[in-house]
Amino acid sequence: MTRMALLAFWSHWRRHPVQFFTLIAGLALATALWSAVQAINAEARASYAQAAVQLGVDGTEILTALDGPIAVSQYVALRRAGWQVSPVLDGTLRREGQSFRVLGVDLLSSADLPAFAAPEAAQNFQAADVLTPPGRLFASPETAASLAHLPDLPPIIETANVPPDVVLTDIGIAEQLLNRSGQIDRLRVMPVQSAGIPPLADIAPNLRRSTQTSGETDRLTDSFHLNLTAFGLLAFAVGLFIVHGTVGLSFEQRRAMFRTLRALGLPLRRLTVLAVAELMIFAVIAGLLGLAAGYTIAGALLPDVSTTLRGLYGVPAANTLHLRPEWVASGLGMAILGTGLASVQALWRLWRMPLLAAPGLQSWAAGARRTNRIMAVIGIALFLAGVVAMVLFDGLVAGFALLAGMMLGAALILAPILSLILRLGARTANGPISEWIWADLRAQLPGVSLALMALLLALAANIGVGTMVSSFRLTFTGWLDQRLASELYVTARDDAQGAAIEDWLTPQVDAVLPIRSFEFSHAGTPLFVYGIRDHATYRDNWPLLAYTPDVWDMVASGTGVLINEQLARRSQIWPGDTLTISPKWSLPVAGVYSDYGNPTGQAIVSLDALLSHARDVPNRRFGIRVAPDRVRALSQELQTRFDLPSTALINQAGLKARSMEVFDKTFVVTGALNLLTLGVAGFAILTSLLTLWSLRLPQLAPVWALGMTRSQLARLEVVRSLALAALTALIALPLGLGLAWVLLAVINVEAFGWRLPMYLFPLDWLRLFLLALLAAGLAAVIPARRLYRLPPSDLLKVFADAR
């Protein structure tokens, strides 16, 4: 009996290969997108963890000063008192538009770092070379390659034991590179300390002991990964709509077979077990295919993700993917879980299947009306819960709670809203056919509402993320225009050459604007203070978000400071408040400017003020105001006259192009996921229409018999699908804009520390609207063609069959 049942099960798929393909493809697609995101996340997290080990920050205790760098004298005092501590200098080396994190450590007390301790390290270098000038730099092969062409750097030793974009070196060498001799950023407290050392408060009361984590970046990257996960989950959910559709269809089509099997004596329990087993086999097959596809997608997207993570957050991230067993297991688990979820309804129907009559579509619709009301209530409740979460709590989690509430709530309210619209629309009907079309749309709604929910979510995500990205891009472009006001930027080899260049340039250009900065620290994080010369370039262009009326005069006279938005939001200081730059230097905040893509705090004061508070401020970079048509000639002349490498000269246009390129890469990932999700939603509509097919004929046959042609009916099927998609798209628009608002005004502020203005892009909406119509139209064309070609005798069977 079971054998016969198995053969019967199998013969269905032999006769419906396309359905089999759809089921496997839907499930594989869902698994692929989900597991791709998981693979990317796992890889990035592994890079962070590895970097933490390589840099010795994995939970080590450290000492930091509350008010800037630690003096060498304090270090010496601690060592004399018996404290086992190791000094670290941590700074950013900026050369020719690139920046690297330089980590200077004491080689002797940090010999445990992987770069020094790895077995192959001994063959690569001699300790003496590292300690004596010019010293050695340790960097990953990638970083070494981008450092290679920079002048005046010590020899580089390539090692896999340093994270990307980080240069590890002896602290003495780092002092010279960073121009910060005699400074220590933190002291690592060695795990083993001798007994009876005096307490910290006695020797160095201004130092604080804490466990080192990468705190700030943790939060930033967490939000990025949460973002990806949310998208992966969305794609997975949308994929499940397909599985739901095809499983429903296959069960619907096998109804007669199931009945026969049961009539032949197969117990319902065994029938159900067989159906479940069949689904699980499919889940495993599709899960494995999905994992393979997911691995490929992740591999393709990872470089862009790494660029994003490094460029936007300044964290190390690897470019290559590893296959992890736990990833395979969780991917398969999701596939099985998803199949189960998507099949619950079909299995339930099988379990409850009466041996004879099947319920009509209208009673399904009546049931759906009740469900509608319940769904509407739950949907509104979820919506409100999201808002309440936002009001009661703040932070990233509340932001995401609001997002989730909005999206889920809207999905649940969709069917009731559509039903209401259709009921209102029916009042406008003035002929029998239009009356029927409206009524029929409403009857069809329960069957396609899941697919429409998928479409709604995909469209809203598209509009939301699209609006965010485009707003971001527009703001960013405008901001670049303002910030990069100078036509040409030049970097001298050293201060002496800088002075020479300035002297030579001044008489022949509109203005030479020095770009000089010094690294202070504020609330435990680095604060880069720039000194500027008062000039119209700043007064006319600088992107100020908030300011006092005499902002530029305050800055020029040294009685005010401009700070970037990140610092303002993080420290809650705005115009009227005071910024403490160092213990001896505080200034009122005169204005706040936007500074996208920069994870650290930044401030601007007058050049004179900076020079009076900081020693040895390098004077090597200049912005040059000059007529655009002279840029080329001027940069060539500078290059030959001062023997500068071509990388020392950056023209504004090129820099903008490069910045935009990095920026655009940032959103390749979400863009790809977005489009895939929309495609999957279109596929979901198709499968639900195919599922409904057997239920459609009893609706259509009477109308056909009463004097409509099959081609008219087929056309109406497409029109109906388009109408539902169009209505859904119209509802998706406000939802998507709400999503964009949350992303820009809530999530962004929490995650990155800046708020972006929201711009609207109606042309994008139109494009998306047409895309949704295209998807729905394509999805409807296949069943419509089938209807158009259906032999009349098949339609007539509706009136003869005892269904």
Q: Residues in the site for another protein, rule: CB under 8 A?
A: 360-363, 365, 431-433, 435-436, 439-440, 442-443, 698-699, 701-712, 792-793, 795-796, 798-800, 803
Alpha-helical (H) ranges within 359-395 are: 361-392
- CA–CA gap between residue 62 and residue 456 (Å, rounded): 50
Q: State which residue, 323 or 802, has the beta carbon closest to another protein.
A: 802
- CA–CA gap between residue 617 and residue 514 (Å, rounded): 11
**Least distance between another protein and beta carbon 788 (Å):** 10
Q: What distance, in Å, lies between the first and last C-alpha atoms of the chain?
A: 26
- CA–CA gap between residue 58 and residue 10 (Å, rounded): 55
Q: State which residue, 191 or 707, has the beta carbon closest to another protein.
A: 707
Q: State which residue, 265 or 707, has the beta carbon closest to another protein.
A: 707
603 pairs with which residues across the strands? 529, 563
**Least distance between another protein and beta carbon 686 (Å):** 22
**Least distance between another protein and beta carbon 425 (Å):** 14
- CA–CA gap between residue 236 and residue 382 (Å, rounded): 21
Q: State which residue, 336 or 701, has the beta carbon closest to another protein.
A: 701
Q: State which residue, 354 or 707, has the beta carbon closest to another protein.
A: 707
Residue type, 109: S
Q: State which residue, 216 or 252, has the beta carbon closest to another protein.
A: 252
- CA–CA gap between residue 112 and residue 117 (Å, rounded): 6
- CA–CA gap between residue 276 and residue 734 (Å, rounded): 40
**Least distance between another protein and beta carbon 721 (Å):** 16
Return the axis-axis angle of helices 17-54 and 268-313, rounded to nearest 10°. Answer: 40
Q: State which residue, 46 or 439, has the beta carbon closest to another protein.
A: 439
**Least distance between another protein and beta carbon 356 (Å):** 14
- CA–CA gap between residue 779 and residue 719 (Å, rounded): 12
Question: Could you count the other beta carbons within 10 Å of the beta carbon of residue 655?
Answer: 16
Q: State which residue, 195 or 706, has the beta carbon closest to another protein.
A: 706
Whether the CB-CB separation of 432 and 749 falls below 8 Å is answered with no
Q: State which residue, 240 or 365, has the beta carbon closest to another protein.
A: 365
Of 243, 321, 245, give the one whose Cα is nearest residue 286.
243
**Least distance between another protein and beta carbon 348 (Å):** 22
**Least distance between another protein and beta carbon 684 (Å):** 23
Instruction: Using the structure block, give the residue that is written with the tokens 């470019």.
Output: 319
**Least distance between another protein and beta carbon 418 (Å):** 15
**Least distance between another protein and beta carbon 438 (Å):** 9
Alpha-helical (H) ranges within 484-508 are: 495-505
Q: State which residue, 435 or 553, has the beta carbon closest to another protein.
A: 435
Interacting residues of 50 by C-beta distance below 8 A, sequence separation 6+:
163
Element (H, E) at 341: helix 325-352
Provide, for the chain, the percentages of residues in helix, strand and coil under a 3-state DSSP scheme, each rounded to the nearest 5. Answer: 65, 15, 20
Of 410, 250, 253, give the one whose Cα is nearest residue 339.
250
**Least distance between another protein and beta carbon 695 (Å):** 10
Alpha-helical (H) ranges within 605-709 are: 607-613, 631-642, 652-666, 668-705
Write the DSSP assignment of 227-277 as a string of letters. HHHHHHHHHHHHHHHHHHHHHHHHHHHTHHHHHHHHHTT--HHHHHHHHHH
Q: State which residue, 705 or 770, has the beta carbon closest to another protein.
A: 705
Cis ω for the linkage preceding 514 (within 30 of 0): no
Write the DSSP assignment of 440-467 as a string of letters. HHHHHHHHHHHHHHHHHHHHHHHHHHHH
Q: State which residue, 588 or 698, has the beta carbon closest to another protein.
A: 698
- CA–CA gap between residue 331 and residue 313 (Å, rounded): 28
**Number of Cα atoms under 13 Å in the Cβ half of residue 91:** 28
- CA–CA gap between residue 256 and residue 321 (Å, rounded): 48
Cα angle vertex 468, ends 669, 574, to 5°? 120
- CA–CA gap between residue 579 and residue 527 (Å, rounded): 11
**Least distance between another protein and beta carbon 701 (Å):** 8
Q: State which residue, 732 or 795, has the beta carbon closest to another protein.
A: 795
**Least distance between another protein and beta carbon 702 (Å):** 5
**Least distance between another protein and beta carbon 361 (Å):** 6
**Least distance between another protein and beta carbon 48 (Å):** 57
- CA–CA gap between residue 580 and residue 567 (Å, rounded): 12
Q: State which residue, 496 or 705, has the beta carbon closest to another protein.
A: 705
